[in-house]
């Protein structure tokens, strides 16, 4: 008993999972990978690796804060 106006359960699940971040997700991803590589290359111990991972996660946000602070927006 299929109704042409109703979405099937497969179509409904597929449309609910879509997330469009645009270019900002790509920029954040590239900044994250660049920071991660930088911090891991300079790591000398296990804890500096862990700290480097956390720094790489938050570094793009700190950078954007500083840029906006300079622009006074």
**pLDDT of the chain, 73 residues: tens digit per residue:** 555 555 555 554 555 665 666 677 777 888 889 999 999 999 999 999 999 999 999 888 888 888 888 888 6
Whether the model clears a pTM of 0.85, i.e. scores above it, the answer is no
pLDDT at 32 (0 to 100): 87
The tokens for 43 are: 């790591």
pLDDT at 54 (0 to 100): 93
How many whole angstroms separate alpha carbon 54 and alpha carbon 36? 9
pLDDT at 49 (0 to 100): 94
Under 8 Å between Cβ of 62 and 35: no
The tokens for 54 are: 């956390």
Under 8 Å between Cβ of 64 and 47: no
pLDDT at 3 (0 to 100): 54
């Amino acid at each position: 008993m299929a109704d042409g106006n109703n979405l099937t359960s497969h179509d409904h699940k597929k449309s609910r999972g879509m997330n469009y971040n645009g270019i900002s997700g790509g920029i954040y991803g590239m900044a994250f990978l660049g920071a991660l590589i930088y911090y891991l290359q300079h790591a000398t111990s296990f804890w500096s690796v862990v700290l480097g991972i956390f720094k790489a996660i938050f570094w793009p946000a700190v950078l954007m804060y500083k840029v906006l602070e300079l622009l006074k927006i």
